[in-house]
Structure 1
């Protein structure tokens, strides 16, 4: 998973995969069939794990909007030391594949839905706690949040300054 996340699908060679997994070529093909299947398994693992972690983070946060702010601030951690900007695997995959591959497009849709579900939960809790107006729709806020996060992650990868990201985060938070 880390290899595809760091390098992307196209830039990851069979040799890279063999070295990272420690498997022989025949074992890799016996286990996964092909590079595409291994990639899809890795991407599915990523978004399954990430959704669980997000729900745990929501449960630990001081408040639902504190969780939202923490998520937004997490984009600043996307630059992996020594490896350049790694970014969010979902955003990376969406940018690399676009709509060129129906099976990956389906996985992108599933991942997006899973992450937005967590944001919906957060905004529903924020409405209950009075942090968000009763007139606000949690599903619409979750969509806005997901789009904002994707845009921020893309900007971080492009090298936008930390100070500018923090300014944008404040503007986003003011809309809740």
Structure 2
């Protein structure tokens, strides 16, 4: 099989490589970029563990070929943390609300929640459950994850100055 060139930005860093057309974005990120935070679970797009942001949209990286991302921007879980490695509000909230256990699904949840909150900064429980319905966790009962989304919303609003010091709107 012949190889094709691919040039994309991952977490703000440019990557140029040559890959076989069948290489998935997930494999490219892990093998060619050394970014192993993107986890592969089912490799059929059902579990959500491999979710990344492609031009800001949450996608299953196991269903996208690396060559399809030529000229595009990818954000992985490694790119969601702050520049000095501090946790994002979503990551902090998952930690505080015990929204993770073994951690295998966590990267997919972090990227999915990040996209969800960008599009809907104050979702209801129903909207959260719908927005995360493509992410599976076999360890938690999901309530900690839902609580974490609400906590991340509160943190974002507090950082934006929308809450007074007592946490009231």
Scaled to the shorter chain, the TM-score interval is: under 0.3
Which has the bigger relative contact order, CA under 8 A and spacing at least 6? 1
TM-score (structure 1 length as normaliser):
0.26
Q: Write 1 or 2 for the structure with the bigger share of helix.
A: 1
Larger radius of gyration: 1
